[in-house]
Amino acid sequence: MTTAGSEPTLKSRRERRWREFYERPLDGKLPIFFRDGRLYDCLYAQQFNRETLDRLCALADHMRTITKEKGGDDFLQSLLSHKRAMLYFSQPSTRTFLSFASACHILGIRVLEIRDLKTSSVVKGESLDDTIRTFSSYVDLVIMRHHEAGVVERASWGLNGTPRPLPVINAGSGADQHPTQALLDIYTLNRYLPGGLDGKRVVMVGDLKRGRTVRSLSYLMKNYSGVHLSFVAPKAFRMQPDILDFLDRHAIAHDETEDLLAAVEKADAVYMTRIQDEYDQTAGESKRIDYSPYHFTEKHLEKLPKKGIILHPLPRREEIAPEIDEDPRAVYWRQERNGMWIRAALIATVFGLEDQILSRSA
């Protein structure tokens, strides 16, 4: 902070530089997140084009095939056994954390972690910039989840100016984005929808305002032709105007409806989400809402087309009863496992290993 009339301090100049960078339109910034013609920092879903998505899905498929044999598994583990990764998670996580750790293991990367900031030097008053810079002394990749939007990007911005820059992968940035979840969702949709995602109707249900998974997934839809999105959400938690504008700009058909049953009847895929009450602005904000119209029940299962599928980023609460799991159209447990493979494919791509892996026969 500067007081009127005083010179800006170095710290405030740095903060100003960061704000200027952060507020720049994303399209202009995207090239910064690529190095040597390939992905480097993975911060936004908007970074991914169709070609990259198709290649990641093909690479994930190939990796899961070759690991069926010990020889293939050993080969993959040898590729990055000289690398280390930091998993820095300031928010709770089960599957994103475990799938990233497992993805690292598949490629032989050794993993370090900070999950509880109380065990880090943050409690001694260290700034986040300094904490992140410390990672660059020890590791080669940062995988980061943070409760505040923008902080993961700040980490990559801070590291870029150091003698030992590192790629940063966004594992969830507040209520804003979760690009690697969107990658695994796309991988799942393409795997289980007959003929893939092009031309399909996807229904997104739940807390669409604060659900970062549905936000990132909506961005990725620009890469598929003829997709129709239906949003079903309580009034207070409707899909936000920034996403609706994006869909309009990219001519992606979308509608909002209160009628889950009618939407399900026409759906190729139903993407369920839980209420994101950790982002409540006022105490009990989420509790005042009747969430039951946004639950997927037996009644919806009956109406879902035979080839329709049900996704959920998990964790779930009451929005899908465990009995639904038995239906073959419920693909969320497979979706969860797909996350490990697509994350392994992403990390392999960041380290430039794609061709080497694809040329290894199964």
Active centre residues (catalytic): 95-96, 124, 145, 178
From the list 211, 216, 185, 221, the residue with the least C-alpha distance to 294 is 211
295 binding ligand NCD? (CB under 6 A) = no
Residue 46 or 273: which CB sits closer to ligand NCD? 273
DSSP state of 196: -
Q: How is 26-86 classified by DSSP, letter by letter?
A: HHHHGGGGEETTEE--B--GGG--HHHHHHHHHHHHHHHHHTTSHHHHHHHHHHTTT-EEE
181 binding ligand NCD? (CB under 6 A) = yes
What's the full length of the chain, in residues?
Answer: 362
At closest approach, how far in Å is the CB of 320 from ligand NCD? 12
Single out the residue of 178, 210, 222, 254 in contact with ligand NCD (rule: CB under 6 A): 178
Single out the residue of 133, 154, 210, 212 in contact with ligand NCD (rule: CB under 6 A): 212
Residue 92 or 161: which CB sits closer to ligand NCD? 92
146 binding ligand NCD? (CB under 6 A) = no
What pairs with residue 269 in β-bridges? 202, 309
169 binding ligand NCD? (CB under 6 A) = no
Where does 88-211 have alpha helices with state H?
95-106, 128-138, 151-160, 179-192
172 binding ligand NCD? (CB under 6 A) = yes
Which stretch in 16-24, 307-315, 342-350, 353-361 sits in contact with ligand NCD by CB under 6 A? 307-315
Q: How is 264-327 classified by DSSP, letter by letter?
A: HHT-SEEEE----GGG-SSTTTTTTS--GGG-B-HHHHHHS-TT-EEE--S--SSSB-GGGGGS
From the list 343, 306, 326, the residue with the least C-alpha distance to 188 is 343
At closest approach, how far in Å is the CB of 336 from ligand NCD? 8
Which stretch in 60-68, 223-231, 263-271, 313-321 sits in contact with ligand NCD by CB under 6 A? 313-321
d(C-alpha 126, C-alpha 5), whole Å: 29
At closest approach, how far in Å is the CB of 7 from ligand NCD? 42
213 binding ligand NCD? (CB under 6 A) = yes
234 binding ligand NCD? (CB under 6 A) = no
- Positions touching ligand NCD (CB under 6 A) are 95-96, 172, 178, 181, 212-213, 273-274, 313-315
